[in-house]
């Protein structure tokens, strides 16, 4: 009887570890997709204003410079990096970063 109880406890622990691994992978995948989506959206805005952005690789939100309804991103494109301030219903403020 004690053997069955120990086996059940080990199985429960194994299931918990497995679920933790699965959830961690799901969260990491969702974060990567969010970053890809942000890079695409910010790059589209920059391009619509006449700036070049070929193959956007990332759009990192700069929390320290952002405010409500004023989000700042560091957009990295192939061979070019921009600081982009997005404000709803307005053109973005785009500055080339060296």
The residues, ordered by sequence, that sit 6+ positions from 82 with a Cβ below 8 Å of its Cβ are 46, 51, 53, 74, 75, 94, 95, 96, 97
Q: In 1-98, which ranges are E strands? A: 58-61, 71-77, 80-86, 93-97
3-state DSSP assignment of residue 17: helix
Query: What is the pLDDT at residue 95?
Result: 97
**CA–CA distance, 63 with 51 (Å, rounded to integer):** 24
pLDDT (tens place) for every residue of the chain, 98 residues total: 555 565 445 555 544 545 455 445 544 444 445 667 999 999 999 999 999 999 999 999 999 999 999 999 999 999 999 999 999 999 999 999 98
* Beta carbons within 10 angstroms of residue 64's beta carbon: 5
Query: What is the pLDDT at residue 36?
Result: 79
Full-model pTM: 0.66
């Amino acid at each position: 009887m004690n053997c069955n109880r120990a086996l059940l406890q080990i199985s429960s622990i194994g299931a918990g570890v497995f679920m933790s691994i699965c959830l961690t992978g799901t969260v990491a995948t969702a974060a990567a997709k969010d970053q890809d989506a942000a890079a695409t959206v910010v790059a589209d805005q920059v391009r619509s204003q006449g700036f070049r952005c070929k193959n956007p690789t990332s759009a990192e939100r700069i929390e320290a410079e952002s405010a409500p309804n004023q989000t700042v991103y560091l957009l990295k494109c192939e061979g070019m990096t921009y600081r982009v301030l997005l404000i709803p219903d307005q053109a973005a403020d785009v500055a080339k970063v060296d």
